[in-house]
Structure 1
Amino acid sequence: LSADEAKASPCPPPMEISLAQDLMAYCLSHSQALAQEEMRQRRQAQKNSELFALVMRRSQVSCQVGRMAGLEMARRLCMVSQAHGASLRRSLGVLSSSASPEVYVCGGQADRQTLATVVRFVESREVWEALPPMPTARSFCCCAAVGGKIYVFGGEKDQRAAFAAAECFDPVTGEWERLPPMPTPRAGCAAAVATGKIFVCGGLVMAHQIVDAVESFCPESRRWRRLPPMPTARCGCTAAGVGGRIFVMGGQLADGVVLDKVECLDLESQVWLSLSPMPSARSGLSAVLADGLVHLIGGLGSTGHTIPVVDRFDPARNEWKQPLAASVARAGFATGCAAGDRIYVVGGFGSDRQDSDKNELLDVKSGNVLQMPPLPLARRLCSGAVVVR
Structure 2
Amino acid sequence: MSFPSANEFHWQSLAGLASSRVYHTVAEVGGQMYMLGGCDAAGRPCATVDLYSPEGDRWISLAAMPTPRAGAAVAVLGKQILVVGGVGEDQSPVKAVEVYNTEEGRWRKRSSLREALMGVAITVKDGRALAIGGMGGDLLPRAILQQYDLRKDVWAQLPPMASPRYDANIHLLANKLYVAGGRQCKRPIKAFEVYDTETRSWTTLPTMPCKRSYCGVLWDGAGRLCLLGGLRQGGGHQSSKFTKNVNIFDTSHGAWLKSEDTLPMKTKRADFAAAFLRGRMVVAGGLGHEPSALGTVEAFHPQKKKWERLAPMSVPRCSASSLVIRDRLLVVGGVNQVPSNAHEILYVKEEEYL
Give the TM-score range, shorter chain.
0.5 to 0.7
Superposed CA RMSD in Å reads 4.2
Q: In structure 2, how many angstroms separate the alpha carbons of the residues matched to 1:354 and 1:138?
A: 30
Residues 1-389 of structure 1: pairs in structure 2 closer than 5 A: 101-111=31-41, 112-120=43-51, 127=57, 129-132=59-62, 133-157=64-88, 160-254=91-185, 256-285=186-215, 287-292=217-222, 293-296=224-227, 299-303=230-234, 304-309=240-245, 311-321=247-257, 322-323=261-262, 326=265, 329-331=269-271, 341=279, 350=287, 380=319
**Which piece of structure 1 moves more, 141-150 or 230-239?**
141-150
Amino acid at match of 1:350: L
Amino acid at match of 2:199: S
Deviation at residue 143 of structure 1 after TM alignment: 2.1
Deviation at residue 386 of structure 1 after TM alignment: 6.0
Deviation at residue 359 of structure 1 after TM alignment: 11
- 8 Å contact from structure 2 (residues 52, 60) kept in 1: no
- 8 Å contact from structure 2 (residues 143, 165) kept in 1: yes
| Higher normalized helix content (fraction of residues) | 1
Alignment CA distance shift 1:356-1:153 (3 Å):
farther
Please say which structure displays the higher CA radius of gyration.
1
Alignment CA distance shift 1:315-1:131 (3 Å):
farther
Q: How many residues align?
A: 283
Deviation readout 1:349-386 (Å, 9 max, x if unpaired): 635899979898978868666666769xx885x87766
Q: In structure 2, how many angstroms separate the alpha carbons of the residues matched to 1:159 and 1:345?
A: 34
Alignment CA distance shift 1:186-1:384 (3 Å):
farther
Deviation at residue 262 of structure 1 after TM alignment: 0.6
Deviation readout 1:244-289 (Å, 9 max, x if unpaired): 11111111223x4321111111111121111122233223456443
Task: State the identity %.
Answer: 22
| Higher normalized strand content (fraction of residues) | 2
Select the structure with the greater relative contact order (CA < 8 A; seq sep ≥ 6): 2
**Which piece of structure 1 moves more, 305-314 or 181-190?**
305-314
Q: In structure 2, how many angstroms separate the alpha carbons of the residues matched to 1:186 and 1:267?
A: 23
Alignment CA distance shift 1:298-1:215 (3 Å):
farther
Q: In structure 2, how many angstroms separate the alpha carbons of the residues matched to 1:262 and 1:189?
A: 16
Q: In structure 2, how many angstroms separate the alpha carbons of the residues matched to 1:171 and 1:360?
A: 33
Unaligned 5+ segments in structure 2 are 1-28, 235-239, 327-354
Partner SS, residue 212 of structure 2? coil
Deviation at residue 226 of structure 1 after TM alignment: 0.6
Unaligned 5+ segments in structure 1 are 1-98
